[in-house]
């Protein structure tokens, strides 16, 4: 009987420590993933979207908003995957691919093409197209992609509109129980004065992915294992971004000189803008393709 009060006390102490730790962070990351975040089509294709709102100071945003740090964000994602698995899962870099391996390369769980970047003034995206791997059904080789998408939001919480486009309506994210909403973080600026706080919308998406577990066993088996773990790990990654600490890219395609104070993303190699694609598949507006994280 004594064990139950001890467990409850330990859990409450952990909540207090976690709250104090989060208060000391330079930013706040709130998960806003839809309740049904993983969808499986009749043909077995999976789409999983995990989302967060990151609230940070305007000064930090201006310091971090650059092509070089989008590349660093991509590297941070892979490094987090390795850390959270205690080094069991690692990322191997090839000339034109990225391999997620279990300890050694013969156990390649997922293999991706080299990343593709979208660089726009208020939006950045990095996409890795899925090539193959042990976790990919044979019928799904060469299909699907993984992407990390970052969008600057207006002070009202909506997506910043492009020229000539009506502003998107503000959407107030719903915070988990016990956490403040994004709008409750930081002081509210007086009318007519710019806010000292800024918001980013960050999405991690897997789309058109055909899992080997579902093909070889069953869809419920996939949902209870790989899909469940993916959501947990991705949410942990999104929460970790509140530290504003990014790992440095191994390739460093984009110049670090563009990072300080950058307010608009531009490809450092001066690549021309291409035609933007739809939201349902990777596109190449002001994109730069390179061997990057």
Query: With bands split at pLDDT 50, 70 and 90, how would you rate the model's confidence at 259?
Result: very low
Q: DSSP per residue over 131-177, as a string?
A: EE-TTB-GGGTT--EEEEEEEEB-TTSSBPPPTT-PPPPP--PPPPT
pLDDT, one tens digit per residue, over 183-202 is 434 444 444 445 689 999 99
Bridge partner list, 211: 136
Say how many residues make up the chain: 293
**Which one, of 212, 204, 219, lies nearest residue 78 by Cα?**
204
Mean pLDDT of 167-182: 42
Q: CB–CB of 102/119 below 8 Å?
A: no
Whole-angstrom distance, CA of residue 148 vs CA of residue 70: 9
- Report the distance separating Cα 113 and Cα 108, nearest Å: 14
Taking the CA atoms of residue 119, residue 120, residue 122 and residue 124 in that order, the dihedral angle to the nearest 10 degrees is: -20
pTM: 0.73
The percent of residues above 70 in pLDDT, for the chain, comes to: 65
* Three-class secondary structure of residue 207 per DSSP: strand
Q: What is the pLDDT of residue 65?
A: 94
| Strand-strand pairing, 145-152 and 197-209 | antiparallel
- HSE-CB at 20 with a 13 A cutoff on CA atoms is 6
Q: Which domains does the chain carry?
A: 26-159+192-262 (3.30.530)
Taking alpha carbons only, the member of 260, 265, 241 closest to residue 63 is: 260
Report the mean per-residue pLDDT for the chain. 76
Which contacts (CB < 8 Å, 24+ apart) does range 266-275 have?
266/67, 266/119, 267/67, 267/117, 267/119, 268/67, 268/68
């Amino acid at each position: 009987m004594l064990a139950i009060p001890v467990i409850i006390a330990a859990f409450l102490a952990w909540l207090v420590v976690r709250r104090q730790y989060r208060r000391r962070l330079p930013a706040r990351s709130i998960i806003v993933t839809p309740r049904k975040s993983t969808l499986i089509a009749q043909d077995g294709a999976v789409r999983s979207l995990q989302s967060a709102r990151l609230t940070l100071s305007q000064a930090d945003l201006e310091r971090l908003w650059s092509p070089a740090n989008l590349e660093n964000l991509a590297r941070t994602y892979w490094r987090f995957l390795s850390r959270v698995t205690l080094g069991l899962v690692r990322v191997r870099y090839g000339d034109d691919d990225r391999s997620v391996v279990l300890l050694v390369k013969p156990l390649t769980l997922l293999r991706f093409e080299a990343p593709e970047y979208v660089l726009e003034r208020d939006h950045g995206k990095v996409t890795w197209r899925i090539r193959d791997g042990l976790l990919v059904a044979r019928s799904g080789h060469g299909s699907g992609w993984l992407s990390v998408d970052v969008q600057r939001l207006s002070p009202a919480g909506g997506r910043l509109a492009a020229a000539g486009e009506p502003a998107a309506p503000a959407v107030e994210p719903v915070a988990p129980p016990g956490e403040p909403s994004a709008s409750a973080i930081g002081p509210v600026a007086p009318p007519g004065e710019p806010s000292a706080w800024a918001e980013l919308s960050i999405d991690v998406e897997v789309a058109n992915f055909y899992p080997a577990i579902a093909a070889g066993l069953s869809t419920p088996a996939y949902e209870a294992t790989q899909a469940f773990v993916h959501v947990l790990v991705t949410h942990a990654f999104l929460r970790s971004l509140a530290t504003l600490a990014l790992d440095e890219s191994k390739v460093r395609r984009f110049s670090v000189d563009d990072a300080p104070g950058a307010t608009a993303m531009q490809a450092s190699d001066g690549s021309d803008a291409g035609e933007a694609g739809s939201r349902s598949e990777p596109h190449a507006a002001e994109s730069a393709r390179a061997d990057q994280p």
